[in-house]
Amino acid sequence: MKCYTTALSGTEKAVALGTFDGVHLGHQTVMEVTQTIALMENLTPCAISFLNHPLSVVGAGAPPLLTLPAEKALLASRCGIEELVLLPFTRSLADLPAEAFAAQLVRKYRARHIVVGENYTFGAGGAGDIDLLDRLSKQMGFVLHVAPKLGVSGMDVSSTNIRNLLTQGDVRRAAALLGRAYSIGGPIVHGRRIGHSLGFPTINIGIPKGKLLPKFGVYFGYARLGGRDYRAMFNLGLKPTVGSDAPTLEAHLLNFSGEVYGEAARVSFVARIRDEKKFGSREELSRRIAKDLEAARLL
């Protein structure tokens, strides 16, 4: 995977367009169609997206991201995308007329086929839509492909719906729309070793800035560490019994022991066990952790 912030290599391309936050099932469809067209037409499969969320410039404020740039690049490569442009979304880009943006796709990025989702908009004020892009394709000489909107269990596959599910703690339904469990990765950092003192040692994972956090609570899932996946129970939140000034992410690995400071880990949220709760003592907290661990083993 080659990543760029301004322009692509000089080869002719099939281009997937979108914000692609989450790289959910709908985004994956757009990218996989792009790869298929590229193979059929002897083109390079690529995607053009953004470093920052467009609402950070044109809205009241951007939501936390489902996928940070490095995550987006990795997921796009798994869909067959070979080149990725992550444009800084600036005021000048937001004000670019739709026709000028389409012209750049052809001249600057050498797009011969363009693939979008059916709700795709572009250009200043979101004035460009599928109908305009179709008309411009005939004028500018590219071929337009529109991937259909997807639904899972009666719910549209969209980044907004996934955010809402995660903030409600419904990680199972969010995973159904994403096509994978939602995950957070970061460096393993030193904590206060409270878990060790309670008999349940944990690894503390640094939470990356700008990443959406699911509803605080206790979860079951997997922790990927050193190229292996370990079953894990983890707590995301403010640890009300012992107190924390900022959200923390701690994972107790069910089948691992050892010191891993300085390494990186990624936690995947599979199922929610319970909300965070303030207990009357550390002994009461320890007993509850033991019960949570039994539930995690069953999951």
Residue 160 domain flag: no
Q: What is the pTM of this model?
A: 0.91
Looking at the structure, do residues 190 and 258 belong to the same domain, yes or no? yes
Residue 56 domain flag: yes
Residue 171 domain flag: no
Looking at the structure, do residues 193 and 112 belong to the same domain, yes or no? no
**In this structure, are residues 204 and 232 in contact, taking their beta carbons and an 8 Å threshold?**
no
Residue 173 domain flag: no
* C-alpha span between 196 and 116 (Å, rounded): 50
Looking at the structure, do residues 141 and 207 belong to the same domain, yes or no? no
Looking at the structure, do residues 285 and 200 belong to the same domain, yes or no? yes
Pairing outcome for strands 248-253 and 111-117: unpaired
Alpha-carbon distance values, 170 to 26, 43, 117, 155, 205 (Å):
19, 40, 25, 13, 21
Looking at the structure, do residues 200 and 106 belong to the same domain, yes or no? no
The HSE-up count of residue 101 (CA atoms within 13 Å, CB side) is 23
Query: Looking at residue 98, which CATH number applies to its domain?
Result: 3.40.50.620
Residue 223 lies in domain: 182-298
Looking at the structure, do residues 207 and 293 belong to the same domain, yes or no? yes
Boundary-marking domain end, from 155, 173, 195: 155
Looking at the structure, do residues 137 and 248 belong to the same domain, yes or no? no
Looking at the structure, do residues 141 and 228 belong to the same domain, yes or no? no
> What is the model's pLDDT at position 201?
81
| Domain count along the chain | 2
> Residue 234 has what DSSP assignment?
E
Looking at the structure, do residues 17 and 141 belong to the same domain, yes or no? yes
pLDDT (tens, 9 = 90+) of the chain, 299 residues, equals: 666 665 556 789 999 999 999 999 999 999 999 999 999 999 999 999 999 999 999 987 899 999 999 999 999 999 999 999 999 999 999 999 999 999 999 999 999 999 999 999 999 989 999 999 999 999 999 999 999 999 999 999 999 999 999 999 999 999 999 999 999 999 998 876 665 555 578 899 999 999 999 999 999 999 999 889 999 999 999 877 676 778 999 999 987 777 777 789 999 999 999 999 888 788 888 888 899 988 888 88
Residue 163 domain flag: no
Boundary-marking domain end, from 120, 136, 155: 155
Residue 175 domain flag: no
Residue 275 domain flag: yes
Residue 170 domain flag: no
Looking at the structure, do residues 188 and 146 belong to the same domain, yes or no? no
Boundary-marking domain end, from 139, 155, 171: 155
Alpha helices by DSSP H, the chain: 25-41, 55-58, 69-78, 91-94, 98-107, 130-140, 159-167, 171-178, 194-198, 282-298
> Residue 139 has what DSSP assignment?
H
Looking at the structure, do residues 28 and 137 belong to the same domain, yes or no? yes
CA angle (1, 44, 138) in 5-degree steps: 135
Alpha-carbon distance values, 167 to 171, 217, 279 (Å):
9, 11, 23
Query: Looking at residue 225, which CATH number applies to its domain?
Result: 2.40.30.30
Looking at the structure, do residues 197 and 58 belong to the same domain, yes or no? no
